[in-house]
Amino acid sequence: MMNFHILTLFPEMVLEGLNTSIIGRAAERGYISIEAVNIRDYTLDKHGKVDDYTYGGGAGMLMQAQPVYDAYMAVQSRIKTNSARVIYVTPQGRTFHQELAKELAREEDLIFLCGHYEGIDERVLEEIVTDEISIGDYVLTGGELPAMVMVDAIARLVPGVLHNTDSAVTESFYDGLLEYPQYSRPEIWHDKRVPQVLLSGDHAKVDAWRLEQSVLRTKERRPDLYEAYAEKRCGEIRNKKK
């Protein structure tokens, strides 16, 4: 069981997106919980304002410390975890990847903080944030989509979330290779035949073909992954010889 808490100005965006997916089914079945906390609910401003101009000038508005801090404190007071990790999703963070997803999937509670406008007052970040994470080098309009991406990637690693328990283990990126090409019926479509080996019924031959295809694809499309794979295999062969 894992509890996701998302601090955001757009709670319905986050909830609708996640609840309409496999992750939503997992939440219904009780393997995870997803809570979206509206930062605006915690402002003390009578007009509901959560942003203001930046000291020193410059374009744009900044999210103020007070509503962000109070929203965080409300979540922290309700959860068992004493000091849950607080992930600020920001273009300035380190890039999210599968190993980080695996690490975060071991937590009981995770708090995501989504920024908007030009960002958040640094002082509240200093007090509450434990991790700053980006999903890649492109510019989005807010942190909600990145938080949803991360929740999706982490939640599917929580035991019970995926029906097929081994699909999270045997998939690509686990052994560091890309997936091999796959085919379904019919046997001929637009004059294209399914590779003969897949119809042979020889499982050893099928496995060998798939591995070969994975290696070729990886070498072609992701030379960085191929390099790491080749390096790892060299080590295994060296160890066997000893």
- In the complex, the residues that contact ligand 9D3 under the rule CB under 6 A are 89-91, 115, 118-119, 134-136, 138-143, 146
Q: How near is the Cβ of 69 to ligand 9D3 at its closest, in Å?
A: 19
Q: How near is the Cβ of 174 to ligand 9D3 at its closest, in Å?
A: 24
Q: Per the structure block, which two tokens stand in for 52?
A: 């203001």
Q: How near is the Cβ of 150 to ligand 9D3 at its closest, in Å?
A: 9
Sign of the dihedral through C-alpha 74, 118, 116, 63:
positive
Coil, strand or helix at 14: helix
235: left (phi over 0), alpha (psi -120 to 50) or beta: alpha
Q: How near is the Cβ of 97 to ligand 9D3 at its closest, in Å?
A: 13
Q: Is the peptide bond before 159 cis (omega within 30 degrees of 0)?
A: no
Nearer to ligand 9D3, 11 or 119 (CB): 119
Nearer to ligand 9D3, 24 or 142 (CB): 142
Three-state secondary structure readout of 59-99: CCEEECHHHHHHHHHHHHHHCCCCCCEEEEEEEEEEECCHH
Q: How near is the Cβ of 94 to ligand 9D3 at its closest, in Å?
A: 11
Nearer to ligand 9D3, 67 or 176 (CB): 67
d(CA 22, CA 109): 20
- Give the relative orientation of helices 144-155 and 11-19 as an angle to the nearest 10 degrees: 30
Nearer to ligand 9D3, 17 or 143 (CB): 143
Nearer to ligand 9D3, 99 or 166 (CB): 99
Coil, strand or helix at 178: coil
Q: How near is the Cβ of 122 to ligand 9D3 at its closest, in Å?
A: 14
d(CA 54, CA 185): 60
Nearer to ligand 9D3, 137 or 236 (CB): 137
Nearer to ligand 9D3, 37 or 177 (CB): 37
Q: How near is the Cβ of 100 to ligand 9D3 at its closest, in Å?
A: 13
Closest of 13, 55, 59, 5 to residue 34, by C-alpha: 5
